[in-house]
């Protein structure tokens, strides 16, 4: 990890993209059955990272549930991510940030589960409301090297594109099966994630081009080896809306999960807008570079020869960010930023 809260400080791009889906989450919080017993209502947050982008949506979900359940009902929030996530930063944020939902409601309890969401991570039938933001685009692993690009969305290699598409389809089905086990009957899951538009365009072309060029420059100066650059891959995949709904078929059902809503939408490029549509090129470059360092830098650094312990790690991230900033400032361009939101409901016994 890149130190306490580095991701929290540089994740505004994700935050600005989830606003439409937060409305769906609030609707779901008003629609799910909450029963009349005293058992805690459980809200699961799949892919929480260090938590910054969870505070707003989870806070809204908590308030909506609280209005329905009364003041004495306990609400349990389960934040899930990989085992090596920065949970200390998450718990610090939850305890101390003014925007933390914990500060506004004494009957809310937070916990974390450090386990891949491609398996079941909480007890069966326990989740009333699920949320996953900007996480499902990450694949379970890299299916193969991409010969011509760091990102499959910008690759022209047919074999690599096919291998990534297969892995993405398998991972989505695996993710859904695990969530189907975890949801209570009538419980809902709202997913918002990076996607490709209906023509298959993943977007972010100027940013991905800068990443490729940055890595080539770092190899040309000898800082990275050719082997390292060849192996570097961002293991994300932007599924199209059609790929997201495929498992549900004509019945809009996948096992116990019913498809309630699936929508492609486009996030505004706030960095482009905030920097005068290219007029403040330096800030444009600096902001995208900081975002890229925080979001994909740690992943790329894993491909350094020495892995997580490679002594060049911090210098790699510094050089990566500096080169990205220079390249992006040289030719500011607006990015297409496709997202998909999906709303699912657990049906049948559970």
Kindly state whether residue 84 participates in binding its own copies, applying the rule CB under 8 A. Answer: yes
Kindly state whether residue 38 participates in binding its own copies, applying the rule CB under 8 A. Answer: yes
What distance in Å separates the CA atoms of residue 175 and residue 136, rounded to the nearest whole number?
Answer: 8
Nearer to its own copies, 121 or 343 (CB): 121
Candidates 23, 125, 186, 298: give the one binding its own copies (CB under 8 A). Answer: 125
Beta bridge partners of 193: 340
Candidates 113, 163, 246, 322: give the one binding its own copies (CB under 8 A). Answer: 113
Nearer to its own copies, 81 or 197 (CB): 81
What is the largest distance, in Å, between two alpha-carbon atoms of the chain? 66
Distance of CA 320 to the CA centre of its chain: 22
User: Who's near 166: CB < 8 A, 6+ residues apart?
Assistant: 143
Kindly state whether residue 221 participates in binding its own copies, applying the rule CB under 8 A. Answer: no
Kindly state whether residue 126 participates in binding its own copies, applying the rule CB under 8 A. Answer: yes
Kindly state whether residue 115 participates in binding its own copies, applying the rule CB under 8 A. Answer: yes
Nearer to its own copies, 4 or 68 (CB): 4
Candidates 3, 30, 33, 95: give the one binding its own copies (CB under 8 A). Answer: 95
Nearer to its own copies, 95 or 162 (CB): 95
Nearer to its own copies, 52 or 239 (CB): 52
Kindly state whether residue 39 participates in binding its own copies, applying the rule CB under 8 A. Answer: yes
Kindly state whether residue 265 participates in binding its own copies, applying the rule CB under 8 A. Answer: no
Give the DSSP letter string of 28-97.
HHHHS---SSSSPEEEEEES-TTSGGGHHHHHHHHHHHHHHH-TTS-EEEEEEE-TTS-HHHHHHHHHH-
Shortest Å distance, C-beta 35 to its own copies? 12
User: Who's near 297: CB < 8 A, 6+ residues apart?
Assistant: 2, 317, 320, 321
Nearer to its own copies, 73 or 287 (CB): 73
Task: Provide the token pair at 265.
Answer: 């939408």
Nearer to its own copies, 110 or 183 (CB): 110
What distance in Å separates the CA atoms of residue 25 and residue 58, rounded to the nearest whole number?
Answer: 9
Kindly determine how many residues on this chain lie close enough to bind its own copies according to the rule CB under 8 A: 32
Shortest Å distance, C-beta 80 to its own copies? 9
The span of 36-44, 55-63, 251-259, 326-334 binding its own copies (CB under 8 A) equals 36-44
What distance in Å separates the CA atoms of residue 34 and residue 179, rounded to the nearest whole number?
Answer: 18
- Which residue, 312, 130, 350, 87, is CA-closest to 221? 312
HSE of 346, CA atoms in CB hemisphere, 13 A: 25
Residue tagged 């609707």 (tokens): 27
What residues line the site for its own copies (CB under 8 A)?
1, 38-40, 74, 76, 78, 83-88, 90-92, 94-95, 109-115, 120-126
């Amino acid at each position: 990890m890149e130190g306490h809260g580095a991701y929290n400080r540089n994740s505004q791009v994700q935050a600005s993209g989830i606003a439409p889906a937060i409305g769906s989450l609030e609707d779901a919080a008003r629609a799910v059955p909450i029963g009349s017993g005293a058992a805690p209502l459980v809200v699961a947050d799949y892919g929480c990272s260090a938590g910054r982008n969870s505070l707003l949506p989870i806070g809204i979900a908590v308030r909506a549930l609280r209005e329905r359940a009364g003041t004495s009902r306990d609400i349990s929030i389960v934040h899930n991510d990989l085992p090596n996530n920065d949970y200390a930063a998450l718990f610090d944020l939850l305890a101390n940030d003014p925007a933390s939902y914990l500060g506004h409601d004494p009957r809310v309890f937070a916990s974390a589960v450090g386990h891949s969401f491609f398996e079941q991570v909480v007890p069966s039938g326990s989740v009333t409301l699920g949320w996953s933001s900007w996480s499902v685009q990450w694949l379970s692993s890299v299916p193969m090297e991409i010969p011509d690009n760091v990102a499959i969305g910008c690759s022209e290699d047919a074999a690599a594109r096919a291998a990534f598409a297969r892995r993405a389809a398998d991972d989505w089905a695996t993710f859904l099966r695990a969530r189907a086990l975890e949801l209570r009957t009538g419980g809902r899951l709202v997913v918002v994630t990076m996607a490709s538009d209906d023509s298959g365009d993943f977007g972010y072309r100027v940013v991905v081009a800068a990443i490729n060029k940055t890595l080539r420059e770092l190899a040309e100066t000898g800082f990275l080896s050719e082997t390292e650059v060849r192996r570097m891959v961002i293991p994300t995949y932007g599924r199209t809306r059609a790929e997201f709904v495929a498992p549900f078929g004509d019945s809009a059902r996948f096992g116990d999960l019913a498809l309630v809503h699936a929508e492609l939408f486009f996030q505004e490029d706030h960095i482009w807008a905030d920097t005068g549509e290219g007029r403040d090129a330096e800030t444009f470059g600096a902001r995208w570079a900081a975002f890229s360092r925080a979001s994909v830098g740690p992943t790329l650094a894993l491909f350094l020869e020495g892995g997580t312990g490679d002594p060049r790690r911090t210098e790699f991230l510094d050089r990566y960010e500096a080169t990205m900033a220079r390249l992006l400032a040289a030719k500011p361009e607006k990015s297409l930023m496709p997202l998909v939101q999906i709303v699912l409901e657990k049906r049948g016994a559970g």
